[in-house]
Structure 1
Amino acid sequence: MYFDNYKQFPDAKLDMKLLWEYDLEKVDLSAMKSTVVQRVVERGWPDDWYFILNFYGVDGVREAIKKIAYLNDKDMYFVSHQFGLPLNEMKCYEKKQSVKQHWNS
C-alpha cells in the first residue's frame, strides 16, 4: 500500500475543509466514516490519508471504500489497487456497470 508508513504519523490531522458543507461543531467523524473516506479519496492530501488510516484503521477504510456509491475511474482503480479490493466488491463499480452506455456498445 502506498501509505504503509501511516503509523509514523499519529498526529496527522484531517483538513476539515473537506467537509465544508457540514456544521463542523456537530461533525461526528465516526458516524460519517463513508463520507470522510470518500472526500479523502477524491480530494485528500497525504496528511488526510494518514489521519483516516490511523483513525479508522486499514480494515475500516477498506470497508468504507466498498460502500462508496460513486468514485471516478481514476480514484476507483487507485483504491482498488492500494487496498487489494476486487472491483466487483465496490459499490461504485457495481453502479457504474448497471448504467447503460449509449455509445460504447
Structure 2
Amino acid sequence: MRAMIFSDWRQKSKGLQVSKTLLWEYDLTRFDWQRFRVIVMQRVVERGTMEDFYAAIRLYGGITKVREIIKEIPTLSDIDMNFVCSVFGLQKEQLRCYTRRLSRERLLNA
C-alpha cells in the first residue's frame, strides 16, 4: 500500500504551492527549492497540510523522488517517522533520522 493516499497527486496538485508560512524565516524570492529540498520536505512532514504534500510531490517530480528526499531528513519525531513510513511505504531503517538516533543512543550507552 505504497503512497495510496497521494496516488491522485497529478490532479490534486495543480496550481498548488508549498505554504510560505512553513518557510517563514527564508527569503522565498531567492529561495533555492532544489538545494533546500530536505528542509522543505521536513517542514511539510512536520507542519504541512494535505495541500502542502500535494504541492511538494509536484514540485519534486513525483512520489518516488519525494520518498528519496524523505529518507534524507535528519530529524523527525516518532509520530512523523511512523506517518512517512506508512504513507510512503518506507521502513524506519531507511530513514536517516532513525539511523542517526540509533547511532546516538549507542554512543551514549557505550
User: Is TM > 0.5 for Structure 1 vs Structure 2?
Assistant: yes
Q: Show CA shifts across 1:24-71 (max 9, x none).
A: 211111221111111000000011001011111111111111111100
Structure 1 distance, partners of 2:42, 2:17, is 16
Report what 2:10 is aligned to: 7
Gaps of 5+ in 1: none
Gaps of 5+ in 2: none
Among residues 56, 59, 75, which one is paired with 2:80 in the alignment? 75
- Return the offset for 1:100: 2.6
Give 3-state SS (helix, strand or coil) of 2:75's partner: coil
Structure 2 distance, partners of 1:86, 1:17, is 30
Structure 1 distance, partners of 2:67, 2:28, is 25
Amino acid at match of 1:91: R
Instruction: Name the structure where helix makes up a greater proportion of residues.
Output: 2
Among residues 84, 89, 101, which one is paired with 1:96 in the alignment? 101
- The CA RMSD over aligned residues, in Å, is 1.3
Identity %: 40
Q: Which stretch of the first structure deviates more once superposed, 3-12 or 46-55?
A: 3-12
Structure 1 distance, partners of 2:58, 2:37, is 13
Moved over 4 A (4+): none
